[in-house]
Amino acid sequence: MEAKLRKAISAVLTVVLLLALSGCCEEHSSDNGKHLRLSPIYGSAIFGAIVGGIVGHQSDDGAEGAAVGAAIFGVGALLGEIDRVNKEDECEHEDDSEDDEEVVFHIRNDNGSETAVVLKKKGSTYIGPKGEQYGRLPAAEHLRQKYGS
């Protein structure tokens, strides 16, 4: 029975190793790396299986040692990947707030004075001083009619 268990574990570890080395779990350029990369998890599980197998062999139970080592190292790598994805999401949200910028128009009034009109850009929308929204940057003449005197 123990021989069958060892063969089964060896077969599973061999398949996992082949999958990891074949690159089937590498990230694809279409999703910009915003997913769990499985290859580091597989690599850690294989390393854990090797270490666990060596330690387990010393206590005459290599198969259980390999399974426990693979599980511990694999879960550790999985948690690391989850943290990486969460940090990338946080950084992406921080970058969104840096998108805010201001555009200042100096409108010449009929009496020769100037009025400064500040538009705030949020994403692709420009927001005027009175809360009006523009899908693109408005023309100075349009702002002059609205804010000039």
**pLDDT tens figures, 131-147:** 899 988 888 888 888 88
118 and 141 in a common domain: yes
- Residues 22 and 68 placed together within one structural domain of the fold: yes
Tokens 């690599």 -> residue:
43
Number of domains in the chain: 2
Q: How far apart are CA 62 and CA 2, in angstroms?
A: 10
Please tell me whether residues 136 and 84 are part of one structural domain: no
Q: Is the dihedral of CA 5, 8, 14, 19 positive or negative?
A: negative
This model's pTM is above 0.85: no
Q: Are residues 80 and 129 in the same domain?
A: no
Domain that residue 135 falls in: 101-147
90 with 22, same domain?
yes
- Beta-ladder partners of 114: 108
Residues 123, 92 share a domain: no
What share of the chain has pLDDT > 70, as a percent? Answer: 68
Same-domain status, 54 and 25: yes
Residues with Cβ within 8 Å of 137's Cβ and at least 6 positions away in sequence, in order, are: 103, 119, 126
